[in-house]
Amino acid sequence: MAHLLLTLLIIIPFYVVAVSEKRCIGTETKQLDEGCTIIESKPLIFKDVIDESLTRKKVKSITHLKAGLEILGTNIENFNYLSHVKEISNPNGPAITFRNNKVLKRVNFTGLTTLTGKKELLLDHDNLSKEASGNSASFKDLMQLEHISRVSNQRSEKCSKNFWEIKDFDKSSEGGRGNGWVISLSILLLVLVVILATLLTRPCHIVRRILKKKKSEEIDGKDRSKVEDDKEKTPKNRANKKKKPKKSTETNSKTSSTTVSTPNPKPTTSKQSSKTSSVSNLKSISKENSKNEVSKVTKLEKKGKQRKGKKTGN
């Protein structure tokens, strides 16, 4: 009898634990069964939490999360739904993922004793990382999780790289890293601006080149036409120069006729005056020669008469 009592005392606690333990596959809290104590295979997901009381009722008996926890795109400011959970672990990824929670400021895991994963925290485009940089309460919440992960993984280094990964943040508690995504986006924008500028300016250069070519062709055409005109004009000028003396002779004949007909002659040109002066010089020379000849003849006649007078006297 005593032996039976001892066996019952030993078996009953294990039976109660087996009856109270309920394993469930991880899913969204909307689809989760009530009374689950261990979530495995897939992470437990908090997303679009609308009915707060129903959500708390479904998760109140959970003690172990074997495949991680994900808090995605909620409007929760203070996450305290799992303050009674003892273990959060995930061998295939981050133990806790915070993503796109726009107003999240505080997290409460006061009953947590084990936190393990490839990385314990992933803060992806989440407001909690921004709040931790300026809000001391948020920073303390994260440091509490860091302490639990350090104890669970037996690490001596504080704020290890294996503890968390922060994406897309301005200022965080992880060494004050800068806004890397903003820098990368600005670089991409600059590259796009340069490409657009080159694409927009190329047509202008092409149009300018075309206009320059057209102008140069027009100038060349004008120069060629000028050269051709000059070539055409030069023989005409020469012919005009050859024809001009005839006109002058004609004008001279006309002037001479006019001088004869009119009592008051018109003033002659320099060429005409030179010709008239040469004619007058020739006439004067011929007159002087004739006079000299006449004087010689008269002298000879006088000498002959003198000779005849002498002969008759003798």
Tell me yes or no: is domain 16-178 CATH 3.20.20.70: no
CA distances from 76 to 44, 49, 66, 128, 143 (A): 16, 8, 24, 11, 20
pLDDT for the residue numbered 176? 42
Q: Is the pLDDT of residue 177 over 80?
A: no
**Length in residues, the chain:** 314
Determine the longest span between alpha carbons in the chain, in angstroms.
236
Residue 281 — pLDDT band, cuts 50, 70, 90?
low
Higher pLDDT, 115 or 200: 115
Question: Dihedral, CA atoms, 111, 113, 117, 121, nearest 10 degrees?
Answer: 50
Distance, in Å, from the CA atom of 145 to the CA atom of 121, rounded to the nearest integer, reads: 9
> What secondary structure, in 3-state letters, does 184-242 show?
HHHHHHHHHHHHHHHHHHHHHHHHHHHHHHHHHHHHHHHHHHHHHHHHHHHHHHHHHHH
The answer to whether 172 and 132 are in contact (CB under 8 A) is yes
Closest CA to 47 of 27, 65, 73: 73
Average pLDDT over residues 35-42: 96
Average pLDDT over residues 199-209: 68
**What pLDDT digit, counting tens, does each position of 52-90 carry?**
999 999 999 999 999 999 999 999 999 999 999 999 999
Closest CA to 152 of 184, 107, 120, 185: 120
Q: Is the pLDDT of residue 35 over 90?
A: yes
The answer to whether 221 and 232 are in contact (CB under 8 A) is no
pLDDT for the residue numbered 299? 73
CA distances from 34 to 15, 20, 190 (A): 20, 12, 54
Distance, in Å, from the CA atom of 34 to the CA atom of 56, rounded to the nearest integer, reads: 10
Domain ranges of the chain: 16-178, 182-225
| 268 CB neighbour count, 10 Å cutoff | 15
Residue 194 — pLDDT band, cuts 50, 70, 90?
confident
Average pLDDT of the residues of the chain: 77
Residue 209 — pLDDT band, cuts 50, 70, 90?
confident
pLDDT for the residue numbered 178? 46
C-alpha 72, offset from chain centre: 39
Distance, in Å, from the CA atom of 74 to the CA atom of 97, rounded to the nearest integer, reads: 12
Q: Any bridge partners for residue 123, and if so which?
A: 98, 166
Helix/strand/coil for 124: strand
Distance, in Å, from the CA atom of 116 to the CA atom of 145, rounded to the nearest integer, reads: 11
